[in-house]
Structure 1
Amino acid sequence: MRQQTVATGAVGGVSAQSLYVGGNGASDAHLHGDIDQVSVYAGAMSDREVRALYDNS
């Protein structure tokens, strides 16, 4: 499913570009496999935040 949204980027910018997971949208190239547990965050995460997510999964 593809959904067009406007989001705030990691550095505070705004983007109306589509988000593609497993492909780039510009070609027919795409991931051959499964993607599980996708998460999108409002900005960049610190090393500590990433580690906490990894340790709690």
Structure 2
Amino acid sequence: MQQVFATGQPLTGALVELERMSLTVSIVPITMDDGVVGAVCTLQKQNEIKNIE
């Protein structure tokens, strides 16, 4: 998330491995007056993505 705040560029489809699950993470910055004021983060279980495919 720090990268998104620093660059203002979204991060999409990053894979995060936890003990018992894999997650796909996407983070999109919220900007106002040419500055990042927040971000929206979505998490999705990797097995749910595989089931959709």
TM-score range, shorter chain: under 0.3
Which is richer in strand?
2
Which is richer in helix?
2
Superposition TM-score, scaled by structure 1 size: 0.26
Q: Which has the larger radius of gyration?
A: 1
Superposition TM-score, scaled by structure 2 size: 0.27
